[in-house]
Amino acid sequence: MTNADSLISLVRAYNPKTNQALLRDAFAFGADMHEGQFRHSGEPYFTHPVAVAHILALQQMDDATLITALLHDTIEDTKASFAMVEARFGREIAELVDGVTKLTNLQLTSTQTKQAENFRKLFMATSRDLRVTLVKLADRLHNMRTIKSMRPEKQAQKARETMEIFAPLAGRMGMQWMREELEDLSFRVLNPEARNSIIRRFITLQRETGDVVQKITADMRVELEKANILADVAGRAKKPYSIWRKMQEKDQGFSRLSDIYGFRIIVATEGDCYRVLGTIHQRWRAVPGRFKDYISQPKSNGYRSIHTTVSGRDGKRVEVQIRTREMHEVAETGVAAHWSYKNGERVENRFAVDPVRWIASLTDRLDDDQNHEEFLEAVKLEMYQDQVFCFTPKGEVIKLPRGATPIDFAYAIHTRIGSACVGAKVDGLRVPLWTRLKNGQSVEIITAEGQTPQATWIDIAVTGRAKTAIRRSLREEDRERYVRLGRELARVAFENVRKKSTEKALRTAAKALAIDSVEELLARLGSAEVTGSEVVRAIYPELALTNGDEVDQGRAVVGLSPDQVYKRGACCQPVPGERILGITFRGQGVTIHAIDCAALVDYEEQPERWIDLHWQEGTHAAVNTVTFDATIANDTGVLGRICTLIGEQNANISDLKFIDRKPDYFRLLIDVDLRDAEHLHRVMTALEAESNVSSIVRHRDPGLAGTTRG
């Protein structure tokens, strides 16, 4: 436990004029009042108030706030009274301690009506002196840090309360560091499996790629030094809960998330901020649509910073925040900046906006006779800035992520309502289904019998629930089309090995693949859940073996040592006949890249990992997958003709994925198994000659540099 001398030493570092005698007296009084009391962990109870005071001292708070932290449980849990505290420490501190006591006594997880009334009391108390809330937030933070000693059901209750009330409150007051920690501590209790899974993925990622944060930080420092810019650069992986929330919002797995690392660059002046931005964008490629200038257009809470996202090492996207030291203080401490001291004097930060105005404007409008539920809704609309709360015509509240549309609203009510949606009214006016909903709007969903989800809804919806329901419905609706496409793909796959796709052959393949029926097999083949080569191999496994005249795939690349294994880089997908080189990976063999692969720039400073390689002469097996990016007409039979064209070139489609569907065209990625560069050229030429193919290019993605193809 921090003793009085340690706490005073911490305070004197930022406030040499602190009243040491009063702090010592408060320390002694608190220790005396809590004598004989213990926490659930078995520690003396007074360790908790001291820890709360320590948290606030790190925020450079004034003496009154620190003394309130030391005494915040005395009136509630000891023989001390308001009069005793007032007589010894003055009216100001007594009222602050009493305010914290009242907040502590609020049962914030009780029934809805009771919760609404308690919210009212909380904000009424907060509006009188914001330091009451600061002490309460620090109190909750320490309790969450030490929550393991509580009963599991109590842990869950406190974690939900923290996630729903205290974390958003901290964020609304500009204390983002506290919000992040409160959310992550709650996440640890409420969903430990998900949190541990994300941490394990981080450990695996770091083992595979090394300390990315340290490498990128060093790269940025080098570039800033070249530009003669003095700056502090720091980076970190984002918190597990932040990543989890992003996975839920984007309906993506961990491996598909990009900006899981964040970097902060702090400089002296606003001019330096823009110089840094230019330097970063000159060195790394900026990601379109991910730039925000909160310096020229500050947020309503006073937040100022430049945000940009760039493609860093190995094509990884990283977020960069650029700000001055003064801006950083507001961004980190929020409302606490209004009470911070330096060298014994209160510091006025010109960028800080006092959130008291927000709380006061809310409480000024309150009427004791106001409906409790309406007040609770009003409070939540103010607090949860990253969510949208809208109302049904019956007045029920629907919670959605920011950016949600009427389609998300409809599916949030019921899947049946979402699927039958044909239109929407917002605040009584008819609006398009892609309209972004705002807080407090009333939404009416218009339905029609026989309506089914449209493919374009996938791009409009933002919630995972809506997207999943739409995809499921589209799969069922498109089943007949998938069966027809699957039959064509099966015909091509069998003809590629000089066999016929008979009904008996398909029944045999379905049985071998443990699929219930031929129709189900064809539907899976048409929706790319099963590949044509898998169907063929289920009946003719010997056809997968290498012919005697073909190059042995194990020795297809010349220049490797006997113990080295290779994989083709998924970023450039090199094929025999193209110039290649290898990059070594410790414990993972060698990754083969085409000589013109954009991903090779990341290894320019590591020449010891480069190997000069070339392909073995001879006939190679058609096992080298290449991805085509094709745009084709949305017309009857076009996709079947494309598959036929590829089959006529003795190439096999191993996968097919639609990435854009429009009324007049489809855009899709087609994985084709090829022998060599000549084979590749023949297939592309045949496709380019097809009148219904408006564009066909070889798909290459430097962002996949860390992955491989067999």
- Active-site residues, by number, are 76-77
Helix, strand, coil shares of the chain as percentages rounded to 5?
Answer: 50, 20, 30
Tell me whether residue 664 is exposed, middle or buried, using C-beta atoms within 10 angstroms of its C-beta: 0 to 12, 13 to 18, 19 or more: exposed
Bridge partners, residue 630, by sequence: 668, 696
Tokens of 698: 């070889």
How many angstroms separate the CA atoms of 190 and 177, rounded?
20
Q: What does the radius of gyration of the chain's CA atoms come to, in whole angstroms?
A: 32
User: Cβ(674)–Cβ(628) under 8 Å?
Assistant: no
Residue with tokens 């906006």: 353
Cα–Cα distance measured from residue 87 to residue 80, given in angstroms and rounded to the nearest whole number: 11
Please state, in angstroms and rounded to a whole number, the distance separating the CA atoms of residues 465 and 318. 28
Question: What does the alpha-carbon distance between residue 105 and residue 96 come to, in Å, rounded to a whole number?
Answer: 14
Q: What would the two tokens of residue 427 be?
A: 């605040």
The string of DSSP letters for 284-328 reads: SEEPTT--EETTTS--TT----EEEEEE-GGG-EEEEEEEEHHHH
Q: Is 662 exposed, middle or buried (0-12, 13-18, 19+ CB in 10 A)?
A: exposed
As given in the structure block, the two tokens for residue 10 are 């911490």
In whole angstroms, give the CA distance from residue 17 to residue 584.
61
Q: What is the dihedral of CA 493, 499, 503, 505, to 10 degrees?
A: -90
In this structure, are residues 443 and 426 in contact, taking their beta carbons and an 8 Å threshold?
yes
| Burial (0-12, 13-18, 19+ Cβ within 10 Å), 448 | exposed
Q: Are 47 and 56 in contact (CB under 8 A)?
A: no
CA distance 652 to 71: 75
